[in-house]
């Protein structure tokens, strides 16, 4: 017998909420009961009384954000559902990065049927794994800090709906293999993420000391010991050898040359002040 699930749509515009409900009913019959809330207060009152399996949560709401609702529920120990965020194209980049770091899904309005179906099926698969609290804590740690503040954790989607929470400092490098990504850790563990490298690339380069040395290799700069541009050879602190592409090898060389020049300039300033 097919299991039935319940959902809550938190969206302040009635027509948009009704449209989302219609698409869900049409595409995902397993979501047998779909409730609606139009404000943070209404959603909170509903969720503390009645559990649901999935919450479709708009980020921007009239009296705050979806994150405000999650913070309140988290403080009360009432986060026991999967979340799919719904947002407009104007959502701030650091907000979307926070969602990505937490391995949570978001959909743009207007909803794409294929993306909606994929996100819901993934959420249903993850329900039995009970990662809600860890993911929400990681998300709230990021969105409640200032945009320039970075947490030291990232969540990765692994196979079978497993979420792995890793410290950035433990990651040596990521390697692309088609639509999946291999994650190499400092303790020699190798994990396989179900997202492609592009999903992680921009945020790790922007927020941390990661460098793209080829289309398939993203390396944590803290583990780089040596770079031989003639051979395009990157040597890590554990003597792992990785090879850069010609294009990214040149960018990598120029970047570190500029960094070295800046360090030298700072040292000369220090010496000048001492003198």
Nearest of 74, 22, 30 to residue 48 by alpha carbon: 74
> Sorting pLDDT into bands at 50, 70 and 90, what band is 271?
low
For residue 135, pLDDT over 80 is answered with no
Reported as a single tens digit per residue, the pLDDT across 38-81 is 999 999 999 999 989 999 999 889 888 899 999 899 889 888 88
pLDDT for residue 197 = 95
Cα–chain center distance at 105: 8
Secondary structure (3-state) at 167: strand
235 has pLDDT over 90: yes
What are the tens digits of pLDDT across the range 86-131? 988 776 776 787 788 777 888 988 889 999 998 898 888 777 555 5
Domain 153-274 classification at class level: mainly beta
User: Contact, 157 vs 135, CB < 8 A?
Assistant: no
Q: What confidence score (pLDDT) does residue 143 get? A: 73
262 pLDDT tier (thresholds 50, 70, 90)? very low
- Give me the pLDDT at residue 124, please: 83
Domains 5-143 and 153-274 share a fold: no
Q: Given a cut of 90, is residue 190 above it in pLDDT?
A: yes
Q: What is the mean pLDDT of the chain?
A: 85
**pTM > 0.85:** no
Identify which of 210, 165, 200, 206 has the alpha carbon closest to the alpha carbon of residue 180: 200
pLDDT digits (tens, 9 = 90+) for 16-28: 999 999 999 999 9
Structure confidence at residue 203 (pLDDT): 87
Report the percent of the chain where pLDDT is more than 90.
48
User: Tens digit of pLDDT for each residue in 139-185?
Assistant: 777 776 554 455 688 989 888 778 888 999 999 999 999 999 999 99
* Chain centre to alpha carbon of residue 233: 30
The residue with tokens 């650091």 is 94
pLDDT mean over 203-229: 92
Q: How many Å apart are CA 236 and CA 223, to the nearest integer?
A: 5
pLDDT band at 261; cut points 50, 70, 90: very low
At residue 245 the predicted structure's pLDDT band, cuts being 50, 70 and 90, is: very high
Alpha carbon separation from 17 to 38, 86, 104, 109, 111 (Å, rounded): 8, 11, 21, 11, 11
Confidence of residue 267 (pLDDT cuts 50, 70, 90): very low
CATH-assigned architecture of domain 5-143: 3-Layer(aba) Sandwich (3.40)
pLDDT at 163: 83
Higher pLDDT, 226 or 173: 173
Give the domain ranges of the chain.
5-143, 153-274
What's the rounded Cα separation, in Å, for the pair 194 and 131? 17
Q: What is the pLDDT of residue 255?
A: 75
**Residue 195 in 3-state DSSP?**
coil
Per-residue pLDDT, 134? 65
Q: What is the pLDDT of residue 2?
A: 63
């Amino acid at each position: 017998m097919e299991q039935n699930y319940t959902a809550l749509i938190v969206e302040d515009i009635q027509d948009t909420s009704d449209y989302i409900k219609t698409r869900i009913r049409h595409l995902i019959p397993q979501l047998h009961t779909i409730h609606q809330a139009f404000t943070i207060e209404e959603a909170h009152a509903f969720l503390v009384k009645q559990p649901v399996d999935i919450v479709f949560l708009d980020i921007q709401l009239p009296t705050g954000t979806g994150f405000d609702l999650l913070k309140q529920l988290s403080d009360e120990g009432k986060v026991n559902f999967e979340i799919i965020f719904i947002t407009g194209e104007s959502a701030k980049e650091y907000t979307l990065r926070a969602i990505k770091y937490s391995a949570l899904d978001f959909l743009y309005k207007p909803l794409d049927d294929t993306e909606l179906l994929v996100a819901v099926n993934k959420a249903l698969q993850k329900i039995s794994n009970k990662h809600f609290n860890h993911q929400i804590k990681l998300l709230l740690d990021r969105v409640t800090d200032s945009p320039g503040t970075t947490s030291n954790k990232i969540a990765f989607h692994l196979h079978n709906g497993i979420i792995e929470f890793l410290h950035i400092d433990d990651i040596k490098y990521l390697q692309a293999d088609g639509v999946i990504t291999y994650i190499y850790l400092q303790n020699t563990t190798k994990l396989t993420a179900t997202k492609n490298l592009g999903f992680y690339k921009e945020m790790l380069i922007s927020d941390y000391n990661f460098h793209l040395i080829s289309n398939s290799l993203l390396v944590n700069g803290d583990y780089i010991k040596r770079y031989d541009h003639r051979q395009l050879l990157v040597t890590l602190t554990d003597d792992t050898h990785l090879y850069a592409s010609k294009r990214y090898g040149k960018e990598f060389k120029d970047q570190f040359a500029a960094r070295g020049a800046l360090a030298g300039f700072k040292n000369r300033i220090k010496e000048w002040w001492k003198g």
